[in-house]
Amino acid sequence: MPSQRGTPARYVSPLAVAAMFLSLTACGSGTDKASTPTEKPSPAASPHPGDQKVTLSWKGEKRAYTVHAPPTYSRTKSLPLVVAMHPYPGDGRAAAAISGLNTKADDENFLVAYPDGLNKGFNAMICCGTEDDVGFIRTLTKRLTRTWNADPDRVYATGISNGGDMAYKLAVELPDTFAAIAPVSGGFLGADAEKPSYKPKTPVSVITFLGGADQYFPAMDKGIKTWQKRLSCTAGNAHELRKSNVDKTEAKCRDGSDVVVYRLPDMGHAWPEGAGGGMSDPTAGINATDLMWEFFKSHTRKAG
């Protein structure tokens, strides 16, 4: 179990439990025509401001996600959508508490969806379980586009740890859905990441935040370097931010996507200046939520 600063005692990193799940892990993102998801009656059938829990039956399992809409929400206006994913073990409430995205959504007028992983985890790059979470998240984004009038060209993904790993998986396996992703203390890892063909088929930009005091930093840092090499990214600006011991690097990739990496040498397995909880680091020197939203605003979905 990780012991670095910013990591609560109850948190178990996907990297720490990868061996336990390795024999069970499968991508599971194929379409199962015999298991068409059906939504159950829910207050969210009538979209409105605030938080609403939505449940649906997905391949024999009851799945759930929470939608947060800003106070000014109206179906007459198409809004951006951010899908935010929790660590393992956790749920959508944990993702909301750590990230502070609800407050940001209220200030900037966008939607946030917090999916709950089955058994408190997502079937991401190296952990956890065998569920078709790619298909589940595809379903919820389509519903939010159709029913809530989310803008299909401004759909983004973020998450921390297992949720950050899942953001990479979504970028590769649902490139026609996401314009950009923002993994926090997560990585492009595991057997799939070692395959040269495992990369987005259309441009998906990346902004990521890695703590140098995170014991998993070497693996995650290697992962983002693999991503850039695979997408033929050319390094651009690299500099240390003023008033903080934070390194920022930028790259432009052959397909037109961008990669921005923040390396925070003193941070552990955490969310830089998150809203609270053991996985938030208030001393990080940068605010990941603010920076990812500025990055998202400058990126819309485009064909490869």
Quote the crossing angle between the two packed helices 133-147 and 162-173, to the nearest 10°: 70
Share of the chain above pLDDT 90, in %: 76
Q: What are phi and psi of 98, to 5 degrees?
A: -70, -45
Kindly state the tokens that stand for 52.
């609403």
Torsion, Cα of 162, 95, 135, 60 (10° steps): 100
CA–CA dist 48, 161 (Å, integer):
30
Kindly state the tokens that stand for 248.
């920022």
Model confidence pLDDT, tens digit, residues 110-148 = 999 999 999 999 999 999 989 999 999 999 999 999 999
pLDDT over 50 at 20, yes or no: no
Per-residue model confidence (pLDDT) at position 238: 67
Higher-confidence position of 153 and 22: 153
End-to-end CA distance of the chain: 41
The stretches of 83-132 forming alpha helices (DSSP H) are 92-99, 101-108
pLDDT over 60 at 198, yes or no: yes
Burial class (CB in 10 A: 0-12, 13-18, 19+), 72: exposed
Per-residue model confidence (pLDDT) at position 40: 45
Per-residue DSSP letter, 241: P
Per-residue model confidence (pLDDT) at position 233: 97
Per-residue model confidence (pLDDT) at position 5: 32
Quote the crossing angle between the two packed helices 288-297 and 101-108, to the nearest 10°: 40
Q: What is the average pLDDT across 63-79?
A: 96
Share of the chain above pLDDT 70, in %: 83
pLDDT over 60 at 304, yes or no: no
Question: For residue 194, what are the contacts with CB-CB under 8 A and spacing of at least 6?
Answer: none
Pairing label, strands 79-85, 111-115: parallel
Q: How confident is the model at residue 32 (pLDDT cuts 50, 70, 90)?
A: very low
Q: What is the average pLDDT across 59-64?
A: 91
Question: For residue 40, what are the contacts with CB-CB under 8 A and spacing of at least 6?
Answer: 55, 56, 57
Q: How confident is the model at residue 59 (pLDDT cuts 50, 70, 90)?
A: confident
CA–CA dist 106, 173 (Å, integer):
30
Torsion, Cα of 185, 63, 8, 130 (10° steps): -60
CATH of domain 14-25+39-297: 3.40.50.1820
DSSP structure string for 26-92: ----S--GGG--EEPP-GGGS--SEEEEEEEEETTEEEEEEEEE-TT--TTS-EEEEEEE--SS--H
Q: How confident is the model at residue 283 (pLDDT cuts 50, 70, 90)?
A: very high
Q: What is the average pLDDT across 84-104?
A: 97
Q: What is the average pLDDT across 28-49?
A: 49
For residues 211 and 247, the answer to whether their CB atoms sit within 8 Å is no
Model confidence pLDDT, tens digit, residues 215-248 = 999 999 999 999 999 999 998 766 667 667 899 9
- As a whole number, the mean pLDDT across the chain is 86
Per-residue model confidence (pLDDT) at position 28: 33
Per-residue model confidence (pLDDT) at position 303: 55
